[in-house]
A and B are shown apart, each in its own frame.
Chain A
Amino acid sequence: MSSETQHTDHHDHAEHETMTRKKIWQVFFILLGITVVEFIVALVLVPKGILPLSFANPIYIGLTIWKAFWIVAYFMHLKFEKPGLMYSLGIPVIFIVGLILVLTNESHHWVDLRL
């Protein structure tokens, strides 16, 4: 119980720090930078054969999730909310991961069906 109170107190503190204009532009340039990297991979590295497509795709997905993190944490302000709200919104994302696993597995069988 007391540990929970401490935790909340600590967060009450963190709540006061919010998005400043400087931070907003910082996040914007991070998002822009990540997008530029994606374009470099798609338009330069892959066509020139420096990077095979099998490597490029995980890079795209990784960078996309990284971008999503910056948008949700800073633009949508979730980083500054109570941990309870963060968990109630974050944990259900497991269902999305579950659907990805199920349908990836399923699509393996569709390959055989389509022959």
Chain B
Amino acid sequence: MSTTAVTSPIDEVKTTPWSGGRSPFSVEYGKMMMWFFLLSDAFTFSSLLIAYGALRFSSSSWPAADLVFQSVPGMIEHGAPLVFVGIMTFILIMSSVTMVLGVEAGHRGARKEVSMWLILTIIGGFMFLGCQALEWTHLHEEGFWWSRIPDAHALREVFREGEPVSTTYAHQFANLFFTITGFHGFHVFSGVIINIIILVNVLAGTYDRRGSYLMVEKVGLYWHFVDLVWVFVFTFFYLV
């Protein structure tokens, strides 16, 4: 309450961000709600990942990532640990970049550029989903599925030398892997669908008429969040 010409302090109009009359965060309502939705989604994903961590931490043996994931489906059958997931990670980071370039073009109101970047983002999303489908198919052929594991001989192959082979922990691994990557993949799928809807609107000129490409920014937030979750899924399933 610094300088004012008003005699009584009660009559004084406060102009601080929290004095009302305007958004203290200077963020449009929908964008703020997207942020808080993503926070709640972060809680869901962390619950899944932390449960996975706790189960794995308390087990005496666990299928080793570089033994389970050592094929590039359709190309290399064995001996290429983490290569395929590396490609998937690259695709997703790349599609995050095209999305943020689309948002940047939206700030300039460049409709053609926005639609081009959105198309590339959608292609990236489909490529990631395709890779995940291949990965799932491969694991399914190996014998892994929800509450299903390979036979004893094949199971020996996914445990590290010297570690006891455990059907219980192999079951836990299979269930957690398909549940968590499935939940993430479902997010990618929804993201692709939402991106397509936004692309249709961009092409129809909806945001030019509205005078703002803020919707592209909002779906961009969702898309980056999907990338963010993958960074964690990648670390905890494939590296640790």
Residues in A lying within 8 Å of B, measured CB to CB: 1-2, 4-5, 8, 15, 18-21, 24-25, 28, 31-32, 35, 38-39, 41-43, 56-57, 60-61, 63-64, 67-68, 71-72, 75-77, 81-82, 84-85, 88-89, 92-93, 95-96, 99-100, 103-104, 106-108, 110-111, 114
Contacts and interface: CB of A to CB of B under 8 A. Distances in A.
Contacts of B66: 42
A93 B42 CA distance: 9
Interface extent on B, as a size class?
35 or more
Interface string B40-59: 00110011001101110111
A18 B240 CA distance: 35
Given A24-B104, A75-B224, A107 B2 contact: no
B82 A42 contact: yes
Contact of B58 (A77, A85, A110): A110
Nearest to B2: A2
Residues of B contacting A: mostly: helix
15 contacts: A1-B2, A5-B16, A8-B16, A19-B100, A35-B93, A42-B81, A67-B231, A68-B228, A71-B228, A75-B224, A76-B224, A96-B42, A99-B46, A100-B46, A107-B57
Given A71-B224, A82-B26, A103 B32 contact: no
Given A71-B228, A82-B17, A92-B39, A31 B93 contact: yes
Nearest to B80: A43
B119 interface: no
Contacts of B51: 103
B173 to A, nearest CB: 15
B35 A107 contact: no
The 9 closest A-B pairs by CB, nearest first: A110-B58, A107-B58, A107-B54, A103-B54, A64-B235, A85-B25, A96-B46, A75-B224, A107-B57
A71 B16 contact: no
B47 A84 contact: no
Contacts of B36: 89
B2 to A, nearest CB: 5
B93 A107 contact: no
Contacts of B217: 77
Contacts of B238: 42
B24 interface: yes
A114 B58 CA distance: 8
A4 B16 contact: yes
Given A24-B104, A89-B39, A95-B43, A64 B27 contact: no
Contacts of B26: 15, 82
Contact of A89 (B35, B54, B103): B35
Contacts of A111: 58
B214 to A, nearest CB: 12
Contacts of B101: 21, 24
